[in-house]
Amino acid sequence: MFKKSCMFQLAAAFALFVVLAAPALAKEKAKGTHKAVAEFDFKKTSAFIKEMEGRPDFPVATVIANDYVYTLLAMGEKIDAGRQNAIILATKLAQQKNGGFTPDKSNKNGSILYTDIALETLALLDANNAIDRTKVKTFAASLKNADGGFGFSPEAKKSSLATTYYAVHVLKGVNGLDAVDKAKTVEYVKGFAKKEGGFGPEKGAGVANARSTYMAAYVLNALGAMDEATAKKAVQFLEKTPYLDKKSKERPELDEQLYAIRALKEVAAGNRVDKAIALNFMKRLYIKVNGGFGPLEGYGSTPDSTTTALRILSEIGKAKGGIPLVAKR
Amino acid sequence: MKKTVIRSLAALAALTTFAGVASAYTYKVIANNDLGMHCACPTFEGFLLLPPFNTIRAQVIQYGGDKPIVVSSGVTVSYSFAEETDATLQADTYFSSWIANAPKLFPGFQPVVNGKVKGLTGKGIADLMSYDSQSMSYVAAGVPAYPVTTGNTAKDIMTDPLGGPKRDPYLTANITVKNASGTVLATTSTVVPVAFGGCCSCHLTLASQNGYPATPAGSFAYLGKMHSQNSSGIDISMIDPDGDGKGGPVRCSWCHWDPAMGESAAPGWPTGTKLLPGATFTLKKSAYSFSDVLHRFHSQSQKVLTQYDPNIANNCYDCHPGNNVNCYRGAHKGKTAIWCSDCHGNLNQRVATNQLAKPWLQATLPTCYNPSPGVNSAFACHSANTYKTNVSWDPNLFGKYINARGHYTSVLLCQTCHGMPHGENPSTSAPDNVQNSTLQGAIKAVYPTGKDKSYALGVCDVCHYQKSTTWSVPPHEL
């Protein structure tokens, strides 16, 4: 009787343990593993990105470091402390005296583009304070032009929508939006609006694209100047692109797919994102042999295009890594 | 299956015993493409980057007796292509554009003579090769090879940026060696790589994003506009070299000299070239090479960097053949994470070290034991002592790997044993390995762990009669 009772108690205790501990065990098991996304073999994708670990000059360059960090985190992987430190150190070394960051060691001219990329890498590694952020603000503010736009670098001063976006993005990231002449910058950015809706990379002639539409919408939002009419026209433009229009004959592009999603979210139309179109497109770009993604259909994979694909999968909830969308900081 | 059988028969034929020139000997021929990849464009109506111009080299080796001899006379060496003929090339839409525009781009040149396609040097798609004493090889320079659709999905891997069917970028040249009486002494096959780059993919998009049609014509018009925004002010789409009232075709090297076209200074445009009405510029030659302006612009343009590719300095395949072709495919690619930039430098490094001011020169290109000058490779190169070569030539076009000989009395081209640059043996692309695998596979050789018949020629018996069947690193300099 005692024996039976004892056995029952042991069995009950074991059952209780299983019920209580199972979720924690499952969670532990999931740590550092590739959660299943049936369409893609992230184990291969990981191996593809990790090829660069074999390089003595890892992480090579500002963009490549960003590729490595974003992609692995998007897939739910952890980056070991040694490599994190190597990336943070390389990123710190890319910061020049004027506060700007360079693309690699061979180049000493900091620009707003690589500054933005470097800041994202540090944010992903939770290492924002590893660099001099005050200098970053000074650098970005120094690129401000009389037309309200921002230039690329002290050497390439001419304003463009893209460089203005990067400057505002950087300034927002370092709490430096007070350095922006909001009225002028808003006016400058609105000059890129197109009749058919959306924004283009050039003022005047030319057509809208998703990248420019996202960049303009981001700046307008950041400066508190997004209005309903602009947002509505942006959606009208995006509806005609292959990222929302299934009948579009335009060839979809990787970057444009990402910016179409981001643009919709920026104009508060995130519910209009066509996740199925995006996912099918990613499937077509996926290279089964190595797990990477190509920049165009029929092209081989590169770390850059693979990272962009992971950004898209993150945006549509298919990357599973739970990566913070730091680009929206 | 049929092609495999044919290839196997060809391989066996390469070892056929000959009893003509000297009955005690047999002959072997080892052929390679000089550069490992040549660029092609799908249209020639707007502008010409590079013409169809491929070069095949073959070394003929007399085998048997005491020592092998590299043959320099008494034989005829010819080539033909497995995938294309005069008829198929002339029927190809894209190649037809070359045929139509080549006389305008190269005044006086006729791309078809008596129904036969001819390259810029007069070589056809099937022709004889001539002996060249510098390379000690039979050479066919300027072969008008062009990527074609074969219908074999395993071979048609290259994506067409204009949306057409995929094409085969790795053509097969069949090389035949005959004696004076026409008896076949030896045959082999080698890869002749020719592929489209990534230029169209980006520029068609660029055109459409700026209100121009996403066609080669639209791209040419927008390219002209962009070119007019540089310091020259020249809108290349408004240059009318043949006076037909339309812009193009324009050869970039008319104004930007290009060593790949044999130029050391810009030759200028053809007599009779006109400008379209509305043009406000005058034509002028540039002091800068084509390679210089093209690379420098793309690596430094803030528009390119912020709107298209911030990592273009490392993404060589944005422009060079990577559209599922993967030009860089050789032994370096297969071993570890060595990138193009480890040998050549990335674009920022190349600009910083002023390499592009003198492009294509031996002095600015990598060797087996050093990357390009000024480039700090992340990897150690080969030992200069072990892999030294005796003889090199032509410092103005290509690096030492292409233009050098070594081994024994310096009679062998580096690539005769190692394969073509960018596709060195063992290559990650199987067709590159067929020749060496055939030659070494015909011998029951012993290989060190990790190596096999697809590696660089290291089995002495391939060339030396009954010397050794064990694969090893042969002396590179004697």
SS (H, E, C) chain A: CHHHHHHHHHHHHHHHHHHHHHHHHHHHHHCCCCCCECCECHHHHHHHHHHHHHCCCCCCCHHHHHHHHHHHHHCCCCCCHHHHHHHHHHHHHHECCCCCECCCCCCCCCEHHHHHHHHHHHHHCCCHHHCCHHHHHHHHHHCECCCCCECCCCCCCCCEHHHHHHHHHHHHHCCCHHHCCHHHHHHHHHCCECCCCCECCCCCCCCCEHHHHHHHHHHHHHCCCCCHHHHHHHHHHHHCCCCCCCCCCCCCCHHHHHHHHHHHHHCCCHHHCCHHHHHHHHHHHECCCCCCECCCCCCCCCHHHHHHHHHHHHHCCCCCCCCCCHHHC
Instruction: State whether B346 and A61 contact (CB < 8 Å).
Output: yes
Instruction: Output the six-digit token pair for B245.
Output: 């009232």
A209: chain B residues, CB-CB within 8 Å = 209
Find all residues with CB under 8 Å of A281, minimum gap 6, and list them: A252, A257, A312
With respect to residue A219, please indicate whether it lies within any of the assigned structural domains: yes
In a domain, residue A221? The reply is yes
The dihedrals phi and psi of B148, each to the nearest 5 degrees, come to -130, 165
CB atoms within 10 A of CB B34: 21
Does A114 sit within 8 Å of B310, measured CB to CB?
yes
The overall average pLDDT reported for chain A is 89
Cβ of A296 within 8 Å of Cβ of B201? The answer is: yes
Does residue B337 belong to the interface with chain A, where contact is any CB pair within 8 Å?
Answer: yes
Residues of chain B in contact with residue A57, where contact means CB-CB under 8 angstroms, are 378
Is A87 a domain residue?
Answer: no
**How large is the C-alpha radius of gyration of chain A?**
23
Q: Model pTM?
A: 0.89
Rounded distance between C-alpha atoms, residue B79 and residue B128, angstroms? 6
Contact B348 A298 (CB under 8 A): no
Q: How confident is the model at residue B315 (pLDDT cuts 50, 70, 90)?
A: very high
- Residue type, position A277, single letter: I
Q: Is the pLDDT of residue B44 over 80?
A: yes
- Of A130-144, B203-217, B349-363, the range with the highest mean pLDDT is A130-144
Q: In angstroms, what CA-CA distances link B370 with A105, B344, B365?
A: 20, 10, 9
- C-alpha closest to that of B225 among B291, B272, B284, B278: B278
| Mean pLDDT of the A185-210 span | 93
Residue of B198, B315, B348 with shortest CB distance to A106: B348
In contact, B126 and B80? CB cutoff 8 Å: yes
Mean pLDDT of A280-307: 93
CA distance to partner chain B, nearest, from residue A9 (Å): 58
Query: Which amino acid does the sequence have at B180?
Result: A
The per-residue pLDDT for A324 is 56
Output B388-391 pairs: Cβ under 8 A, ≥24 positions apart.
B388/B476, B388/B477, B389/B414, B389/B476, B389/B477, B390/B477
Q: Among residues A185, A181, A176, A244, which one has the least CA distance to residue A210?
A: A244
Q: How confident is the model over B127-141, as a mean pLDDT?
A: 97
Measured distance CA(A292)–CA(B410) in Å, rounded: 44
Instruction: Say if B153 is an interface residue toward chain A (CB within 8 Å).
Output: no
- Asked if pLDDT for residue A253 goes beyond 50, the answer is yes
Which site among A170, A253, A287, A299 would you substitute to test the B interface, given the most B Cβ atoms closer than 10 Å to its Cβ? A299
Q: Does B378 contact A at CB distance below 8 Å?
A: yes
Task: For residue A61, list chain B residues with Cβ-Cβ distance below 8 A.
Answer: 311, 313-314, 346
CA distance A110 to chain B (A): 12
Size of interface A-B (CB pairs under 8 A): 111
Calculate how close chain B gets to A12, using CA atoms only, in Å: 55
pLDDT for A21 equals 44
- Give B252 to chain A, closest Cα distance, Å: 26
Contacts of A153 in chain B (CB under 8 A): 302
Task: Mark B286-301 as b/e (b = at least 16 C-beta within 10 Å).
Answer: bebbbbbbbbbebbbb
pLDDT tens, residue by residue, A91-123 = 999 999 999 999 998 888 999 999 999 999 999
Residue A268 backbone dihedrals phi, psi, to 5 degrees: 60, 35
The shortest C-alpha distance from A31 to chain B (Å) reads 28
CB-based contact B349 A106, cutoff 8 Å: yes
End-to-end C-alpha distance for chain B, whole angstroms: 44
- B219 touching chain A per CB within 8 A: no
Residues of chain B with C-beta less than 8 angstroms from the C-beta of A250: 208
Q: How far is CA B100 from CA A99, A292, B96, B114, B244, in A?
A: 55, 40, 6, 16, 13
B325: Cβ contacts below 8 Å, ≥ 6 apart: B37, B157, B158, B169, B193, B195, B196
The torsion angles phi and psi of B191, rounded to 5 degrees, stand at -80, 135
Nearest to B43 by CA among B91, B108, B92: B92
3-state secondary structure of B355: helix
* B192 and B52 Cβ atoms separated by less than 8 Å: no
CA–CA gap between residue B92 and residue B85 (Å, rounded): 11
CB pair distance less than 8 Å for A300 and B349: no
The whole-angstrom separation of Cα B401 and Cα B423 is 12
Structure tokens, B37: 């990849």
Q: What is the dihedral of CA B300, B305, B310, B315, to 10 degrees?
A: -60
Model confidence pLDDT, tens digit, residues B163-208? 999 999 999 999 999 999 999 999 999 999 999 999 998 999 889 8
B331: enclosing H helix or E strand:
helix B331-335
Contacts of B166 in chain A (CB under 8 A): 298
Which helix (H) or strand (E) segment holds residue B8: the answer is: helix B2-13
Question: Does B166 sit within 8 Å of A298, measured CB to CB?
Answer: yes
- Where do the DSSP E strands lie in B71-228? 75-81, 112-113, 116-117, 127-132, 137-143, 170-179, 184-196
Q: What residues of chain B lie within 8 A of the CB of A300, using their CB?
A: 317, 322-324, 326
Contact at 8 Å (CB) between B177 and B184?
yes
Give the residue-averaged pLDDT of B37-55. Answer: 96
Q: Cβ distance B201 to B322 under 8 Å?
A: no
Say what the ipTM of the complex is.
0.87
Q: Which of B209, B310, B348 sits opposite A206 (nearest CB)?
A: B209
pLDDT of residue A298: 85
Task: Say if residue B128's pLDDT is above 50.
Answer: yes
* Rounded Cα distance, A302 and B312, in Å: 12
Residue B384 is given by DSSP the state T
Residue type, B264: S
Closest CB from A160, A207, A300 relative to B306: A160
Does any domain span residue A206?
yes
Half-sphere exposure of B184 (CA within 13 A, CB side): 14
**Cα–Cα distance between A321 and A305 in angstroms, integer?**
18
Average pLDDT over residues B311-328: 93
Cβ–Cβ gap A201/B209 under 8 Å: yes
Q: Which of B201, B303, B306 sits opposite A166 (nearest CB)?
A: B306
* Token pair for A196: 């058919």
Give the residue from A266, A258, A259 showing the smallest Cα distance to A285. Answer: A258
Taking alpha carbons only, the member of A206, A111, A226, A229 closest to residue A166 is: A111
Task: List the single residue in A with minimal CA-CA distance to B158.
Answer: A298
Which residues from B are below 8 Å from A156, CB to CB? Answer: 302
Instruction: Give the pLDDT score at A28.
Output: 38
Mutant choice from A51, A58, A62, A63 vs B, greatest count of B C-beta within 10 A: A63
Structural domain contains residue A257: yes
What is the pLDDT of chain B when averaged over all its residues?
Answer: 92
Q: Which of A52, A299, A304 sits opposite B159 (nearest CB)?
A: A299
Distance from CA of B149 to the nearest CA of A (A): 15
Residue A17 is predicted with a pLDDT of 43
Residue A104 and residue B346: Cβ atoms within 8 Å? Answer: yes
For the ranges A19-33, B22-36, B429-443, the maximum mean pLDDT occurs at B429-443
CB A301 within 8 A of CB A48: yes
Q: State the Cα–Cα distance between residues A261 and B6, nearest whole angstrom.
A: 52
- Give B207's contacts in chain A (Cβ within 8 Å): none
Beta bridge partners of B117: B112
Which chain A residues are Cβ-neighbours of B208 within 8 angstroms? 207, 250
B302/A201 touch (CB, cutoff 8 Å), yes or no = no
Q: By the 8 A CB rule, do B463 and B63 touch?
A: yes
User: How far is CA B216 from each of CA B200, B207, B223, rounded to the nearest angstrom?
Assistant: 8, 9, 10
Chain A contact present for B335, CB below 8 A:
no
Contact B214, B199 (CB under 8 A): no
Q: How far apart are CA A316 and CA A264, in angstroms?
A: 12
Whose CA is closest to A250, among A239, A266, A261?
A239
Q: Tell me how crowded residue A290 is: count the other CB atoms within 10 A of its CB.
A: 16
Q: Please identify among residues 110-129 of chain B the ones whose CB lies closer than 8 Å to any CB of chain A.
A: none
Domain count, chain A: 1
Q: Note the pLDDT of residue A249.
A: 87
Closest residue on chain A to B160 (Cα):
A298
- Tell me the nearest-neighbour CA distance from B76 into chain A, angstroms: 41
Question: Are A101 and A139 in contact, with CB atoms under 8 Å apart?
Answer: no
How far away is chain A from the Cα of B214, in angstroms, using its nearest Cα?
10
- pLDDT computed for residue B137 by the predictor: 98
Contact A56 B322 (CB under 8 A): no
For the ranges A62-71, A169-178, A283-292, B387-396, which has the lowest average pLDDT? B387-396
Q: Using an 8 Å Cβ cutoff, are B127 and B140 in contact?
A: yes
User: Model confidence over B380-435: pLDDT tens digits?
Assistant: 999 887 777 668 888 889 999 999 999 978 899 999 999 999 999 999 999 999 99
Cβ of B348 within 8 Å of Cβ of A103? The answer is yes
**Closest CA in chain A for residue B212:** A206
The mean pLDDT of B13-33, rounded to a whole number, is 65
Q: Is-contact B11 B438, C-beta < 8 A?
A: yes
Q: A-chain residues within 8 Å CB-CB of B205?
A: 251, 253
Is B303 within 8 Å of A201 when comparing Cβ atoms? yes
Cα A295 from chain centre: 16
Contact flag B324-A298 (C-beta cutoff 8 Å): yes
Among the listed ranges A27-36, A117-126, B245-254, which one has the minimum average pLDDT value?
A27-36
Residue A251 lies in a domain: yes
CA distance B364 to chain A (A): 17
Q: Do the beta carbons of residue A40 and residue A95 sit within 8 Å?
A: no
Q: Using a CB-CB distance cutoff of 8 angstroms, which residues of chain A are in contact with residue B339?
A: 55
Q: What is the distance between the terminal CA atoms of chain A, rounded to a whole angstrom?
A: 66
Q: Which of B209, B308, B337 sits opposite A52 (nearest CB)?
A: B337
In angstroms, rounded to a whole number, what is the distance separating the alpha carbons of residues A267 and A221? Answer: 8
Burial class (CB in 10 A: 0-12, 13-18, 19+), B451: middle
> Using an 8 Å Cβ cutoff, are B405 and B135 in contact?
yes
* Boundaries of domain holding A196: 191-273
Rounded CA-CA distance A319/A309 in Å is 9
Of B313, B324, B346, the CB nearest to A300: B324
Residue type, A207: V
